Structure 1
Amino acid sequence: MRVPARLLPLTAVTAASALLTGCFSSAGSDEAAADGKRIRVAHMQPPRSGLSPLSDDAFKLSRWSTAETLVKLDKEGDAQPALAAKWQQAGRTWTFEIRDGVTFHDGTKLDADAVVRSLTKAATASPKPRILDGVELTAKAEDADTVTVTTGTEDPLVPQRLSSPQLAILAAKAYKGKTVNPVGAGTGPFELVKVNGTSSAALDRYDAYWGGKAKAPGIDVTFVPDGTARAAALRTGEADIVEAIPVSQAAVLDQDLITEVPMPRTNTLYLNTEKGAFKDASLRAAAREAIDAESLVEGVYEGRADVAEGLLGPALPWAAGLRTPVKHTKAGKPNGKTITIGTFTDRAELPEVAAALQQQLQKAGFKVKLDVREYANIESDALAGKFDAFILSRATVLDSGDPVAYLYSDFASDGSFNLSQLADPSVDAELKKAGETQAGDARRKAVIKAEAAVLAQDAAVPMLHERVIQGDAAGVVDAAHDPRERELVTADTYVK
């Protein structure tokens, strides 16, 4: 049972405050700090890969407006110019004209060679950034300002792919070592100047930014995995912008300081189709039927979420109108089968979801063990298929603004994030068809057919669609509230 947040014992509040003591002192240059207020940001997850853009850390670089891509997406998910001024397609080849007048934070000039270097590094990385799952991509400099990008098969989504923060364009200095180091190597309005391991980072305004001078002198970031501590940072004025406030804390904060947005993020139970109890499709069906998602929404999320109808939620409003009933395998009897469910502590609600699912599945006849750790300590085991089931809060259009990349990554036979260990020809065929369909209504229909193929296998049970709760202190102006989690502090963001 949850202890109401307003009744948290004094020891809990003291512990949260201790986590923040000194965290948000200015970490940037004295010169930058002298010009207005620096923005203090409390982030949920610390860097996993030293802020390499080839990992999920890329989204931090994007949210701090330090690393940029050739293309950006508008609110509808359509491709718009960024470091590329324009582009055109000819079969498998796309030609991009590089924006003039852009410099990296080390003073070097953005040109075609720099673009080719970054894209080639990503395309040849092992593992590849997930936006390139199943994609053969080569980049070539045609002249100083023109780059051609060629794919193995005709790909209608190349511009959307190139908007992924994992395909950010960095200066040559970023690639000198064994890992990609983004410090001082971006093109955005803020320069990353200091990284203190997994505890903090600092960015200063880059006054030569091609898009105009940022309104804030810099950003001081602290990584605060503890949700109570992040909420305390907003309540006590220790932070200006707080990422991912837990549902349990939202009700006791000043409601004028929090923003709640439906996210393209689905809380999903992935079932291991390769081995263990859930290799049996009838037991996967039994698990699906045992789950009461509505009680999770009301009990764990206090109504601040939406019951899932499919893998794609209300943040993609077209999905519900295209969806038709899915034919499932008949549920079998668990007969006391033992299963282990894994999840992680970084998102405060997930351990509670795990505990609730344990009760629901045990009621249905399973014996259920839980394995709950920090994400950094459990991801490799999850990807290796060491659990019978895994609970994940999964962004469904994080990379390209198009759900095909997520569906391929998570459910294709060769997908890089295939927690279900699914290898099904019918699913692969529908995913391939969706990936080859031109953007628009036809593609959306193909996406829903691919979703139906996955759901028919019960490889994943979508439970609920989350809403992000972001905290902005009273003096914060124009912080981004981005459902795709790509933007947070922009050139227009400042603190009064």
Structure 2
Amino acid sequence: MGSVRRRRFVAGLLLAPLLTGCFASGGSSDGASSPGSGSGGRLRMALAFPPTENFSPYGADATLLSRLGVTEGLTRLDGNGAASPALAESWSRESDGSWLFTLREARFQDGTEVTPESVAAALTHAASATPVPTALAEVKLTATPSGDHRVRVTTAEPDPALPFRLAGPSMAVLSPKAYAKDAEGGKDAEGSKDAEGPKSSASKTDGSTKRGAVNPVGTATGPFELTKVTGSTGATLDRFDDYWGGRAHASGIDARFIADGTARANALRSGEEDIAEAIPVAQAASLAEGAAHEVSTTRNTSLHLNTRSGPFKDPRFRAAARRAIDTSVLAENVHEGHADPAQGIFGPALTWAKGKRAKPVGRAEAALGKDVKGTTLTIATYDNRPELPEVAQVLQQQLEKAGFTVKLTVREYARIESDALAGKFDAFVSARNTMLDTGDPVSALSTDFTCDGSYNLALLCDRGVDRAVATADSLVDPGKRQDAAMAAEARILGTDAVVPLVHQRIIVGVAPAVRGVTLDPYERALATASTRR
């Protein structure tokens, strides 16, 4: 497509409203209507990533279950990123380490009632899973029933972010049947790692709370019940008529897992599918008018510089690398205008961050000049997301222009994550949804940039950063917590351990007749009870 036509197409998408709730496809005014009588037909969906862990809720498949409307937790994130009611209709903090959640009346898809006992058991299973779900990577959680319709959740250390953690897809509440050792489909499996977050790999296990032994088929609480899984090619979901939020409009969902983006776009274009996620930029303009919907996400692409060994142990070399990078080129050329040049760790999808960003603190600005010339470094990335190798190639050119000698290493994510975390590369290009695991900005900073962080790709250990993150983590008020998170971001950016590159957007393809699809910057929701055609 010519540059003029591309710019017009991009401009049209940029004029589309950013929504975190439902939108009305095709111009209808009732796209955000409440669930109704449930007389609609079945939805056909093309999804980009197949299940890799037998649909276990504790790993990467948790997000898939959430996007299909199968699972729910006690809380969810609203459009402003705040924790809001889901299976819990309210909650209160009793003390630093204790929270009391009041449950709404609801049923599991196997017909049993959602009780304090069943919720406590579900949370206990999640807390004892191996490996631990990423939402609980930094806390030790205990859940106990507390009278009628109440569950008490305690943590070993004070955790003001607990309501955010419980909104994570991996904290789904399932019925007791899901955790039975002999549950159908509950065989252990060895899956892949989450390409945008802390280590969440499924390992072969033999306990009932181990990752592979949890069966969400017919045991969740969402508007759609998972009834059949066809390996890694598809899944069948039927409407759950007793859903507490009202019967879904659609009678069910027929999902297909199509890895190739062009094939997903073709399936939507031909009418084989009603919804197709992650449409490639090159395919979006060929869809029917109004079918391409773009949304900013909390997924950022960043360059993490190894602060423990190699040339980037010296902050002056990190500063030289950061000054050599032009992020506008990455947003406009590599992403063809479907990304925003990086503003920091937290991007424009997080509306609360606007106007709160502070100047980086303690940044080294001493020029190295000729001292950079001849310095050899290795940049690594993965090809699961096709734009990342191209980003790495552009960075190679920009850094070599500044005097560095750069080698590239590209592998599948599952074959490169452990080496990256071990510091075997000088720099690592990664796409990371900062809000996917907990929805709490402070927890994301703690995981990714503190001395004990479980996904610290830069191997950063800076006491000033740790103090800033700890200060933010001590605050309960959401607004003050966000302010402190931005102050901690300024400390992190001041180390030049990470160079934010672009804030990503995604394009969701939706047939003109479909209504009520959710455009979620957190990438947790897609189909809900309101989605229909």
- TM superposition score normalised by structure 1: 0.88
Over residues 360-398 of structure 1, what are the superposed CA-to-partner deviations in whole Å (9 max), with x where a residue is unaligned? 122222232323333344334333433322222222222
Q: Which residue of 2 aligns with 1:72?
A: 76
- Tell me which moved more, 376-385 or 465-474: 376-385
Using the alignment, how far apart are the partners of 1:386 and 1:204 within structure 2?
47
1:409 maps to 447
Counterpart Cα distance in 2 of 1:62 and 1:422: 32
Task: Tell me whether 1:493 sits opposite 2:531 in the alignment.
Answer: yes
Shift of 1:255: 4.4
The structure-2 alpha-carbon separation of the partners of 1:255 and 1:341, relative to structure 1 and needing over 3 Å to count, comes to: farther
CA distance 1:111–1:233, shift in 2 (3 Å) = same
> Residues 468-479 of structure 1 correspond to what in structure 2 (within 5 A)?
468-479=506-517
- Distance in 2 (alpha carbons) for counterparts of 1:4 and 1:380: 43
Letter in 1 for 2:149: D
Tell me by how many angstroms 1:331 deviates. 5.1
SS in 1 for 2:340: strand
- Distance change (3 Å), C-alpha of 1:166 and 1:421: same
Indicate the larger mover: 34-43 or 141-150.
Answer: 34-43
Q: What does residue 126 of structure 2 align with?
A: 122
Structure 1, unaligned stretches of length 5 or more? 7-33
Q: Is the 8 A contact 1:284 1:331 kept in 2?
A: no
Change (3 A) 1:368 1:224: farther
Counterparts of 1:439 and 1:349, CA distance in 2: 38
Structure-2 change in CA distance of 1:129 and 1:415 (3 Å): farther
State the partner residue of 1:16. none
Quote how far apart the aligned CAs of 1:188 are: 0.8
TM-aligned CA distance change 1:236 to 1:336, over 3 Å: farther
Query: Are the structure 2 counterparts of residues 48 and 186 from structure 1 closer, same or farther at C-alpha, using a change threshold of 3 Å?
Result: same
Instruction: Give the 3-state SS of the residue equivalent to 1:321 in structure 2.
Output: coil
Q: Which runs of 4+ in 1 moved over 4 A?
A: 1-6
For the residues of structure 2 that align with 1:421 and 1:202, how far apart are their CA atoms?
43
Partner of 1:350: 388
Which of the residues 304, 307, 315 maps onto 1:270? 304
Aligned partners of 2:426 and 2:221: how far apart in 1? 44
- Native 8 Å contact 1:4 1:248 kept in 2: no
How far residue 151 of structure 1 moved from its aligned partner, in angstroms, is 1.9
CA distance in 2, matches of 1:138, 1:222: 37
Summarize the Cα distance change of 1:278–1:426 in structure 2 as closer, same or farther, 3 Å threshold: same
| Residue type of the alignment partner of 1:307 | P
What is the CA–CA distance in structure 2 between the aligned matches of 1:341 and 1:123, rounded to whole Å? 36
Give, in whole Å, the separation in 1 of the partners of 2:313 and 2:231: 40
Over 3 Å counting, the alpha-carbon distance change for 1:232 and 1:276 in structure 2 is farther
Residues 1:383 and 1:145: Cα distance change in structure 2 (over 3 Å): same
- Give, in whole Å, the separation in 1 of the partners of 2:289 and 2:388: 23
Higher mean alpha-carbon deviation, 297-306 vs 325-334, is at: 325-334
Counterpart among 401, 407, 415 of residue 369 in structure 1: 407
Deviation at 1:194, TM superposition (A): 2.1
SS of aligned partner of 2:523: coil
- What residue identity is the alignment partner of 1:328? R
State the alpha-carbon separation in 1 of the partners of residues 61 and 443 from structure 2: 18
Return closer, same or farther for 1:275/1:46 CA change in 2, 3 Å cut-off.
farther
Q: Deviations over 1:119-174 (max 9, x none)?
A: 12222334332222322321111235321011233332222221111111012232
Which string of whole-angstrom CA distances, capped at 9 and with x for unpartnered residues, describes residues 195-228 of structure 1? Answer: 2333322211112222221111211222222222
1:95 Cα deviation from its structure 2 partner: 0.8
What is the distance in 2 between the residues matched to 1:125 and 1:2? 52
CA distance in 1, matches of 2:405, 2:232: 37
* Alpha-carbon spacing, 1:342–1:42, altered in 2? closer, same or farther (3 Å): farther
In 2, the alpha carbon distance for the partners of 1:255 and 1:349 equals: 26
Match for residue 158 of structure 2 among 133, 143, 154: 154
Q: Are 2:358 and 2:487, in contact at CA under 8 Å, matched by a contact in 1?
A: no
**Deviation (angstroms), 1:472:** 0.4
Matched position secondary structure for 1:143:
coil
Query: What are the within-5 Å matches in structure 2 for residues 179-328 of structure 1?
Result: 179=212, 180-326=214-360, 327-328=362-363
Q: 1:58 to 1:336 in 2, by over 3 A?
A: same
C-alpha separation in 2, matches of 1:270 and 1:255: 39
1:142–1:130 CA distance, 2 compared to 1 (3 A): same
Question: 2: CA distance between counterparts of 1:275 and 1:2?
Answer: 45
> How many percent of aligned residue pairs carry the same amino acid?
51
- Which residue identity lines up with residue 272 of structure 1 in the other structure? N
Equivalent pair of 1:42/1:222 in contact (CA under 8 Å): yes
The C-alpha deviation readout for 1:69-96, integer Å capped at 9, x for no partner, is 1112221223222111222111121111
Question: Structure 1 78/317 Cα, relative in aligned 2: closer, same or farther at 3 Å?
Answer: closer
CA-based RMSD of the aligned residues comes to: 2.5
